[in-house]
Each structure stands twice: as C-alpha cells, then as structure tokens.
Amino acid sequence: MINVVITFYSGMINGLTEVWAHKFRSLLSMMGIILGVAALVAMVGVVRGMIGEVRDYFERTGGITRLQVETRQPPDEQSHIAHLSPGMTFNDVDAVRLGSPLVTLLDPEVSLNWRRFTHAGVSDNAPLRGVLPDRREIQRLDLREGRFIGDLDVIDASPVVVLGGWLGDRFFPDGEAVGRRINIHGQTFRIIGVVENLGGPQGGGWFWMQNRTAYIPITTAMKRFSGNDRLNSLNVQVANVAFLEDAIGQVENILLQTHRGIEDFAVTTMEEQLAEFRRIEGTFTLTLGGVAGISLLVGGIGIMNVMLAVINERIREIGVRKAVGARGSDIFIQFLAEAVVISVVGGLIGVMVSVGLVGMMQALIEVDQFRIALSPPAMLAGFLFSVTIGIASGIYPALRAARMNVIDALRYE
C-alpha cells in the first residue's frame, strides 16, 4: 500500500513537471475540461436565477394554498342556457365570504388593462387594477411609503391610488408621492401609497408587470371605468393546504348557486402550476447539464490524446524503468496520476473561470430580467466530474504503457 502511495505521489510530481514543461500543450489538453466546468457552473447559475425568480413569484402570489377562479365556456349541454348566468361578479365575492368558512382571504380583480398616467408633464402607460385590501396580504406587498387601500376606500369608492414601485420612481423620483395627485386616463386620483419593488431594488424578472401596476379600490374601478360589477378574476386563499380539497368543493357549490347552475367557471389550484414549474426545472437542468457534460467528455478525449502522445515520447523511459525492476502496476499508477493531475488542474482553472464567466454574464444580461447565482454545489460537482473524466481518460493510456514490452521499448528510437 505504501509503495502504491509513493508511486502515485511520484506520478503526480512528474505530471506537474510535465504540465509546467509543456505549458501550451497542457493548456490545450485542459481546455475541454476548463470550458466544460465553466459552462456547467454558468448554466446552473442561469437556471437557478430563473427558477429562483419563478419560485419567488409563486410564493408572492399565494403559494400552494391559493385557488384561482376563472371564467370559461360552459359545457356543450349548457350552451343553450349560458345566458342565464350573470357571469363572475362582485356578488360572488360576498357569497364566498359568507358561505365558505375555510376561505381566509379574497382577492377579486377588475382589470382595466393599460391606462395613461400623467403627472407634471410626465406621461406613461401602466396596468391599472381594481382590488380589495386583501390583495396586499395575498401578494405580500410591502409599502415604501403611505398605506394600501382600506375598507373605507372601498365603501366610498374613493378616487385614491397605490402606485407600484416602478411607477413611484418614474413619476416621483424624489420619493415623496403620498398626498400628491396624478391623472389616470383623464381622471384625478390622490396617491395614498407606493409599493416597494418586488424582486429586489431593480424589480425585474417575473415581477416586471407587478412593479408597474397601480391599484385602486375595486368599487372605484367599477364606478369610474368599467361601469358594471363584473370581475376578471377571483383568487381565494385557504388557511391550510389540508383544507384545500374541501375549500374547492365549497367554492364550487357557492358559485353554482350564484351562477344559476351554469358551469361557466373553473376553480383551479396552484398544484398544477407547481408541477409544471418542477417539470420545467428538471428539463432545464438535464438539458444544460447534458451540454456541459458533453464538453467535459470532449475534454476527456483531449486528455487521452495528450497522454498517448506523452507515452510515445517516453517509450525508452518506460523500457528503462521496467528493465531496472519497475512493475507494470507501477507504470500504470504513474501515468494515471499524470492524467489526474491534468484533470485536477483543469478543473480548478475551470472553477475560477466560471466565477469570472458568471460575473460577466450578470454584467451583460439586463439586471431586470433575472439574477444569475453562483452555485457552490455545481462548482464542486463540476470539479469532481472533471477529475472523474481525467481518471477515465487516463486508464487506457496507462494500461498501454504498463503492458509495453521491455525489449521493444528499449529498442525504440
């Protein structure tokens, strides 16, 4: 065992000497490993950044305990009586609030699409939503200044507005928006609050739309813009995931009554979106990891070619070592150790390159798209994979050197 360790150590020293003596050739042989490790770490960073944004968005919008009520076409057997249903209206909100004890929060929305905002000569378009006070808790909206919409605002249909973080920066860069007036599609509203940017200071990625959204009382939206009590969507928050199925049943039964038995709505859970999210995450990881794995395999082929070339240059040395008593296993361990040295050095350089590559990508990619995050597990995995590839690539050349005939090796010119 001691002889094996000494031989392996000697092989690693020889490997380092060979790498230093033939710097350019060694760099070329390591290039595949370096690029493979760097690509693996960078790609995992991109995936983690994207998935992290999606996960944050998922949690911010209620997580798995949220139910979505959406309008849909009634089944064919009800198409001839579909006109009997009033559709999704504010009456549904009151009915669910009174009839479903499992529901803790209700978040109906009147979507007014994009409207023109104007203040002090500055104009821009932004989404406008009519909501209830529960919107703040469901979507975990933190306020930079002021307050959110309150119950009295809804009762009085007050002309008040809460601006998204991006809108606050756009119209009031001095940070003092509360109490000032802003014109929305020809109507004057008093600003009562500004929401903190979601998704970090820049507020990008999946939160791009939310940070540009303005909120007014849902009754104000109905009175001043839509002219009716119809809803575009209704989100329902359940206290515990254990009550999810029972809550779905309650909500469906209530809506069937308010819609006069017409099934022109669908109650869906976030589980389906979560399953799709996990599938996309797995697909990204496998695809990008496979690309990086191929790069590492190409790097392994490069190491094998270099090792074969090294053996051809040192045939006489191998013959001399065998002639003075070296065993085939000693020759095998020596050349395998040299291959490991090349892969280890290449892996370490690849990890260092990956740090710079991720930093460069973060600088080049617009910060409001998503964040690229370095992953220590990915860096460790890339390094270990490069070492594994180096060992696998060095086995054949080492076996070839170990099986070389002493006489033929000594006669080699």
Residues 339-377: pLDDT tens digits?
A: 778 788 888 888 888 888 777 777 766 544 456 667 777
What pLDDT, on the 0 to 100 scale, is given for residue 117? Answer: 95
Instruction: Return the bridge partners of 161, or none.
Output: 191
Mean pLDDT of the chain: 81
163: confidence class by pLDDT, cuts 50, 70, 90: very high
* Residue 411, SS3 per DSSP: helix
Q: Would you place residue 294 in the very low, low, confident or very high pLDDT band (cuts 50, 70, 90)? A: confident
Q: Which domain holds residue 146?
A: 65-269
Which 8-state DSSP code applies to residue 404? -
DSSP state of 412: -
What is the pLDDT averaged over residues 37-65? 70
| Angstrom distance (rounded) from CA 175 to CA 154 | 26
Instruction: Check if the beta carbon of residue 383 is closer than 8 Å to that of residue 347.
Output: yes
Give yes or no for a contact between 139 and 60, defined as CB atoms under 8 angstroms apart: yes
Q: What percent of the chain has pLDDT over 90?
A: 25
Whether the pLDDT of residue 288 is over 90: the answer is no
What local confidence, expressed as pLDDT, does residue 199 receive? 61
Residue 268, phi then psi, degrees to nearest 5: -120, 155
Residue 175 DSSP symbol: S
Encoded amino acid at 207, one letter: F
Distance separating alpha carbons of residues 155 and 45, to the nearest angstrom:
48
**Distance between CA 348 and CA 298 in Å, rounded?**
17
Domain boundary among 241, 269, 297: 269
Question: Between these two residues, 235 and 55, which has the higher pLDDT value?
Answer: 235
Per-residue pLDDT tens for 86-130? 889 999 999 999 988 888 889 999 999 899 999 988 999 999 999
Residues 214, 180: one domain?
yes
Q: Which of 64-78, 160-174, 188-202, 285-299 has the lowest mean pLDDT?
A: 285-299
**Is residue 411 very low, low, confident or very high in pLDDT (cuts 50, 70, 90)?**
low
pLDDT at 206 over 60: no
Residues 130 and 243 in one domain: yes
Whether residues 291 and 239 fall in one domain: no
Asked whether the predicted pLDDT for residue 170 surpasses 80, the reply is yes
Task: Tell me how far apart the alpha carbons of residues 331 and 91 are, in angstroms, rounded to a whole number.
Answer: 85
In this structure, are 150 and 231 located in the same domain? yes
Q: Is the dihedral of CA 74, 78, 81, 84 positive or negative?
A: negative
Which residues, in sequence order, are CB contacts of 14 under 8 Å at separation 6+?
Answer: 334, 337, 338
Q: Rounded to whole angstroms, how far apart are CA atoms 165 and 212?
A: 7
Same domain, 14 and 78: no
Region 39-51: mean pLDDT is: 74
Residues 178 and 251 in one domain: yes
Same domain, yes or no: 260 and 286: no
User: How many domains would you assign to the chain?
Assistant: 2
Quickly state the pLDDT bin for 306 (edges 50, 70, 90). Answer: confident
- Indicate if 105 and 17 belong to the same structural domain: no
Assigned token pair, 240: 């515990």
**Alpha-carbon torsion (62, 59, 222, 218), positive or negative:** positive
Amino acid found at 290: G
pLDDT the model gives residue 32: 76
More confident residue, 46 or 56: 46
Structure confidence by residue, pLDDT tens digits, 231-254:
998 988 887 777 878 888 899 999
Q: What percent of the chain has pLDDT over 70?
A: 81
- H or E element at residue 267: strand 265-269
228 shares a domain with 173: yes
- For 116-148, give the DSSP string: EEEETTEEEEEEEEEE-THHHHHTTPPEEEE--
Give the pLDDT score at 201. Answer: 46
* Statement: residue 408 has pLDDT above 90: no
Instruction: Please give the Cα distance from 117 to 127 (Å, whole number).
Output: 10
Residue 52 sits in the same domain as residue 186? no
Whole-angstrom Cα Rg for the chain? 33
The secondary element (H helix, E strand) that includes residue 217 is strand 214-217
Mean pLDDT along residues 146-161:
95
* Residues 73 and 44 occupy one common structural domain: no
Of 245, 269, 293, which one is at a domain's C-terminal end?
269
Res 203 pLDDT > 60: no
Residue type, 174: D
Residue that wins the pLDDT comparison between 14 and 123: 123
Q: How confident is the model over 118-144, as a mean pLDDT? A: 91
Split at pLDDT 50, 70, 90, the class of 14 is low
Q: Which residues contact 162 (CB under 8 A, 6 or more apart)?
A: 143, 146, 148, 149, 191, 192, 193, 194, 195, 214, 215, 216
State the Cα–Cα distance between residues 135 and 149, nearest whole angstrom: 9
Helix or strand run (H / E) with residue 266: strand 265-269
Task: Give the residue from 269, 288, 313 where a domain finishes.
Answer: 269
Number of H helices, E strands in the chain: 14, 10
Considering the entire predicted model, what is its pTM?
Answer: 0.61
pLDDT at 1 exceeding the cut of 70: no
265-269 vs 66-71, strand pairing mode: antiparallel
- Most confident of the following: 81-85, 309-313, 388-392, 402-406: 81-85
316 shares a domain with 284: yes
Do residues 292 and 40 touch, judged by C-beta distance below 8 A? yes
- Residue 8: per-residue pLDDT: 61
